[in-house]
Amino acid sequence: MNYTDIKEIEGKVLGKQVDYPQQYDPTILVAVPRKPNRDIYNIDTPSNLFTGYDTWHAYELSFITEKGLPVSAMLKIVYDCNTPNIVESKSLKLYLNSFNMTRFGFSAQSGLDIVLGIVEEDLSEVVGSRVKVFAFKEQEAENLVDKSIDYTVLEDSIFSEEITFERFDEAPDLLKTSENSSNTEQTFASHILRSNCKITNQPDWGSVFIRISGKNNIDAESLLKYLVSFRNENHFHEEVCEMIFKRIYDNYKPEDLAVTCIFTRRGGIDICPSRTTRIDWLFNNLVSEGILTEKLIRQ
């Protein structure tokens, strides 16, 4: 599959004027292959490099029962990061809106159970593996980030305002090793991550959490410069997370590494990918489909 083919797939509905479906329509869903972008960054065998999940929160699910009662809920969608495809976000928005005037069940709960089963089946078909979907009607939320881990927020560090930032296209050569390298664990966060949609060029805002252990310590100033260099990059959320992971992995050869990106909601959906070399470094509440997590300030 060549570059032109991929661009046609990715832009099937994204960046175009598309009418909202008036009735349930799974054909609007667009599957985007993961492999072409991974090839660019030499992620040849992803399952040997990292594990992780793509976690989506969709805030605009609604349908009507057989008696015409409207039902609304928020969906949490979780699937493995090594599925053959991702689902393109605008197509998911249109798909979920196709439920709006379609009738399911004779009660709110029976209708919701039917819809969840349909969504799981349709999305599993699109991404090429099992997708877990859970619906929330209440807003009680658990902590997103493990409070026992003290993440250094890079832009709040004392050195941040003394830096001159000059590069705004992804620049892995900015990453430097600390002079105080030792076999230690480091944790960093930033809430000023920005990239742009691959098709529409609209900005995507987010937070990133990085946890790393090994002999080569990250120089914090260089990491902040690197993250700022994403400002003009055009990529899907999942791709941004994997690029950050791979660049850090290649530069520092860590024993273990975890990267989690929490992106701002756009079009009724937020996408939160996580990649790690060890499963216990994942944000458990984030990747568990039955747990609603608190929102960060930019969400």
Three-state DSSP at 192 gives: strand
Residues catalogued as catalytic: 197, 204
**Angle of helix 89-97 versus helix 108-127 axis, rounded to 10:** 150
What is the rounded end-to-end Cα distance, in angstroms, of the chain?
35
Q: What angle do CA 81, 82, 86 make, to 5 degrees?
A: 65
* Closest of 86, 73, 82, 77 to residue 56, by C-alpha: 77
* 181 burial via Cβ count (<10 Å: 0-12, 13-18, 19+): middle
Q: What does the radius of gyration of the chain's CA atoms come to, in whole angstroms?
A: 20
Helices in the chain by DSSP H: which ranges? Answer: 3-10, 35-40, 46-49, 89-97, 108-127, 220-228, 237-252, 284-287
Q: How many CB atoms lie within 10 A of CB 27?
A: 10
